[in-house]
Amino acid sequence: MSAAPDIVIVGAGIVGAACARECARAGLRVLVLDRGPVGGGTTAAGMGHIVVMDDSPAQFALTAFSRRLWQELAPELPAAVEYDPCGTLWVAADEPEMAEVHRKAAFYRERGVRVEVLEGDDVAAAEPALRPGMAGGLRVVDDAVVYPPAAAQHLLESQENARRIEVRPGVTVAALNEDGGVTLADGTRVSAGVAVNAAGPWSPLLAPGLPVRKRKGHLVITDRHPGFVHHQIVELGYLKSAHAVTADSVAFNIQPRKTGQMLIGSSRQFGAEGTEINAEILDRMLRRAFEYLPGLGRLSAIRAWAGHRAATPDKLPLIGPSLASDRIWLATGHEGLGITTSLATGRLLADQVLGRAPAIPVEPYLPARLGKGDTPHA
């Protein structure tokens, strides 16, 4: 790249990649720096479920918009991205959970999200491996699955303006500067109009005081057992939990991959900084999965690992200028939904950088909402 880039993005995860793509599409010259390979951080540790969620109106708006962007992108995705519109099946174990199915169904239908309510027998027919006696379920038809590292790679190199993006893997950034540039670990300064912190769970290291905390999650991948499950299946049982935000928790979540493998989650822990496997959490997580899928225990497990989500106090990401400087921007804090919401994040970031009208209201995601040095985490 000859002249200084318009924008330098720290982090070549899916979020940094999506931001780079949108900025380049709008004609900006983009430099992307990562200490590792493309998509080698949390993007390589997560599940890749593209899912509409409704914990809050703002979460729904962002996930629904972003999922639409994924659907638009789908036809051009190469096979390596493993895009699979398998849909989500939320399973209800009992009547109270079935009530939640109906609530969710009504909420989604009103907003144009395609869903189907399944009775117990329909669930058994749709997923014969589930234990018998499920009360029912909700199929969210257009939810999908991707392989995130390949998706990040595609976002960086695919569109017509890809040549405006320079990616430098293997470069560690020490600081984002108030003049819009960055300082590398070796002391080199790189100047740019705007610097974006898209460093995922490591973003607070480059932005002291940022209210982003690591939330650890474990996953297990199986060998190829094609046809064992057909949807990404997730339990609704978590509703019974009272103190969801603070305690370590596990939930049943299984994802069929196009390879015939399955990815099994999930767990959430605060205060666990390392990526080593916690045997007790893994144990609880798998027991939960076996309760739902009694045959799962006989299948072959290849590898278990853990990664960190970048969690914010209100469970919404930070997209926009930081409070530190109007030339240091944030695109982080995507918790367990960063694959889903990456495309929307890229769009909203580019809209703001360019002063365009945002595609959806951006206020809920502005860093300013949390105030400076805000640490109201429980």
Ligand X SMILES: Cc1cc2nc3c(=O)[nH]c(=O)nc-3n(C[C@H](O)[C@H](O)[C@H](O)COP(=O)(O)OP(=O)(O)OC[C@H]3O[C@@H](n4cnc5c(N)ncnc54)[C@H](O)[C@@H]3O)c2cc1C
Q: Which residues bind ligand X (CB under 6 A)?
A: 10-16, 33-36, 40-43, 45-49, 172-173, 198-202, 206, 217, 219, 265-266, 307-309, 332, 334, 336-340
Q: Rule CB under 8 A: say whether 141 interacts with another protein.
A: no
Collect contacts of 174-179 with beta carbons under 8 A, ≥24 apart: 175/206, 176/10, 176/206, 176/207, 176/328, 177/328, 178/324, 178/325, 178/327, 178/328, 179/327
- Residue 284 binding: pick among another protein, ligand X, none (C-beta 5-8 Å cut-off by kind): another protein
Write out the binding residues for another protein, residues 81-140 only, by CB under 8 A.
none
- Residue 245 binding: pick among ligand X, another protein, none (C-beta 5-8 Å cut-off by kind): another protein
Give the nearer residue to ligand X in terms of CB position, either 4 or 174: 174
Q: Is residue 23 classed as helix, strand or coil in its secondary structure?
A: helix
| Tally of CB atoms within 10 A around 354 | 12
Q: Is 344 left (phi over 0), alpha (psi -120 to 50) or beta?
A: alpha
Give the nearer residue to another protein in terms of CB position, either 68 or 284: 284
- Residue 106 binding: pick among another protein, ligand X, none (C-beta 5-8 Å cut-off by kind): none
256-295 mask for another protein (x: CB under 8 A)? Answer: ---x----xxx-x--------x-xx-xxx-xxx-x-----
- Residue 202 binding: pick among another protein, ligand X, none (C-beta 5-8 Å cut-off by kind): ligand X
Write out the binding residues for another protein, residues 302-331 only, by CB under 8 A.
302-305
- Asked if residue 234 lies in contact with residue 91, where contact means CB atoms within 8 angstroms, the answer is yes
- Residue 300 binding: pick among another protein, ligand X, none (C-beta 5-8 Å cut-off by kind): another protein
Number of residues that bind another protein (CB under 8 A): 69
Q: Is residue 49 classed as helix, strand or coil in its secondary structure?
A: strand
206-225 mask for another protein (x: CB under 8 A)? Answer: -----------x-xx-xxxx
For residue 369, count CB atoms less than 10 angstroms from its CB and return exposed for 0-12, middle for 13-18, buried for 19 or more: middle
- Asked if residue 213 lies in contact with residue 31, where contact means CB atoms within 8 angstroms, the answer is no
Q: Rule CB under 8 A: say whether 47 interacts with another protein.
A: yes
Q: Quote the least distance from Cβ 343 to another protein, whole Å.
A: 17
Among residues 99, 101, 81, which one has the least CA distance to residue 89? 101
Using CB under 8 A, pick the residue from 237, 256, 317, 320 that binds another protein.
237
End-to-end CA distance of the chain: 45
Q: Quote the least distance from Cβ 332 to another protein, whole Å.
A: 17
Contact stretch for another protein (CB under 8 A) within 14-22, 36-44, 116-124, 125-133: 36-44
Q: Quote the least distance from Cβ 41 to ligand X, whole Å.
A: 3
Q: Rounded to an integer, what is the distance from CA 78 to the centroid of its chain?
A: 20
Task: For strands 182-184 and 189-190, give the pairing.
Answer: antiparallel
- Asked if residue 351 lies in contact with residue 357, where contact means CB atoms within 8 angstroms, the answer is yes
Q: Quote the least distance from Cβ 336 to another protein, whole Å.
A: 5
Among residues 316, 236, 357, which one has the least CA distance to residue 62? 316
Give the nearer residue to another protein in terms of CB position, either 112 or 303: 303
Q: Quote the least distance from Cβ 12 to ligand X, whole Å.
A: 5
- Asked if residue 319 lies in contact with residue 362, where contact means CB atoms within 8 angstroms, the answer is yes
Residues 6+ apart with CB under 8 A from 256: 84, 86, 145, 228, 229, 230, 231, 232, 262
Q: Does the CA dihedral 171-174-176-181 come out positive or negative?
A: negative
Binding site for another protein (CB under 8 A): 36-40, 44, 46-47, 49, 51, 53, 55, 80, 149-150, 153, 169-170, 217, 219-220, 222-225, 234-238, 240-241, 243-245, 247-253, 259, 264-266, 268, 277, 279-280, 282-284, 286-288, 290, 296-305, 336-337
